[in-house]
Amino acid sequence: MNRPIKKGIYIFIIFALLLGIFTGGVFFGYSQRPEIEKAVGVINKDKEKPANIDFEPFWKTWNIIDEKFASSDGLDNQKKVWGAIEGMVNSLGDPYSTFFPPGKSKMFEEDISGNFEGVGMEITVKDGALTIVSPLKNSPAEKAGLKPGDKILKINDEMTVNMTSDDAAQLIRGPRGTKVKLLIVRESKDIPFEVEIVRDVINIPVLNTESKPGGIFIIKLYNFGGTSTTAFRAALREFILSGNDKLILDLRNNPGGYLEAAVDIASWFLPAGKIITKETFATGDENVYRSKGYDIFNNLPIVILINNGSASASEILAGALQEYKTARLVGVKTFGKGSVQELIPVTKDTSLKLTIAQWLTPDGKSISKGGLEPNIKVEMTEKDKESNRDPQMDKAIEILMSTLRF
């Protein structure tokens, strides 16, 4: 073989080696690129990210699923996004914050508008368990014997472990006439028991009134809804015209509602400018809600009945009147739900219900941390209920009959 041919072979070999090294380097570099760059079919992934947060594990998991997940139906990347957002919200550890993907968002809007069918009760996650805050008056839940503080272990055949209250609500609600089975744990019973409830149209009651001997007038307020302030004003007018001079405000099993309703109702009993509640935000900002100063009941003997089904706006009203010594609280400790949620649109058909603030009493006590303690503790036992006795109401009447001032 002559020298020019040998030289040409050497040059070819060197070129091939260099090309292989270059190609290998390119391939290695490409394979080692950030996981976010490997994700295909995803838009807006290059948007600005929070500083000092490593998103690499997220995108690596995304790509592993794309490459290895065995599914005959294929993958829906948008559902993966909704699931990721739900997981992010769940990581807050707040039972009142929830992401609503398409479908659930619409159902939640129907619920808060009052147009729904189901069993009629307020539920939440408390201490890791799905818990009944309160059944609504005359609802299927109340008629079935469910009580505040009951824990729901199972809905039909589905366990409630790690289930959000909103997901549970979607399982419990349903068309009128259909049935739902709940497995219940109650503190006073040794073993769980099953309750079958027939769903119905839920008509949320507002209040009712009653007169008792000795000049006692009772207002039983069931919720702080859109019509509560008007109904309460009418009840007070009825109280004045009745000639009675002592008032019992029954907030037992009242799960709350609108803050504005609690402020308006408290204003009938407090001078103008008195703090009713403070609303504190993550930014450190604070809103202070003060009495409008209707205050037409000077030195009126008032007792407020509370129990573990009294929550949210009920605790705002009761806490304010207790701390100003306008009323005494009789019963047992309240539920302890003192947070504010805002429904925020994320897309046109999804939304985020997020806790944005905490409620404090006028003295600065957090309602969420332990609820309100009564001035006079009176339990209501199962025997009392079975015998149709009401020792809490009896105590309230006793207090009002024994004193004109407190």
> Which residues carry out catalysis?
312, 323, 337
Which tokens is 378 given?
């009176």
Q: How far is CA 16 from CA 10, 12, 27, 201, in A?
A: 10, 6, 16, 79
Q: Which residue has the tokens 């690129």?
A: 33
Which residues pair with residue 354 across a beta bridge?
A: 342
DSSP per residue, 2-53 = -HHHHHHHHHHHHHHHHHHHHHHHHHHHHHTS-HHHH--S-SSTTS---TT-
CB 141 within 8 A of CB 135: yes
CB 41 within 8 A of CB 77: yes
Nearest to 36 by CA among 71, 69, 62, 64: 62
CB 335 within 8 A of CB 309: yes
Give pairs for 278-287: CB < 8 Å, separation 24+: 278/359, 278/360, 278/361, 278/362, 278/364, 279/340, 279/357, 279/358, 279/359, 279/360, 280/357, 280/358, 280/360, 281/356, 281/357, 282/356, 282/357, 287/357
Q: How far is CA 20 from CA 7, 8, 11, 13, 14, in A?
A: 20, 18, 14, 10, 10
Q: Return all residues near 286 (Cβ < 8 A) that are at least 6 apart.
A: 278, 279, 280
H/E element holding 82?
helix 77-90
> What's the CA gap between 16 and 378, in Å, rounded?
91
Nearest to 311 by CA among 229, 231, 376, 371: 371
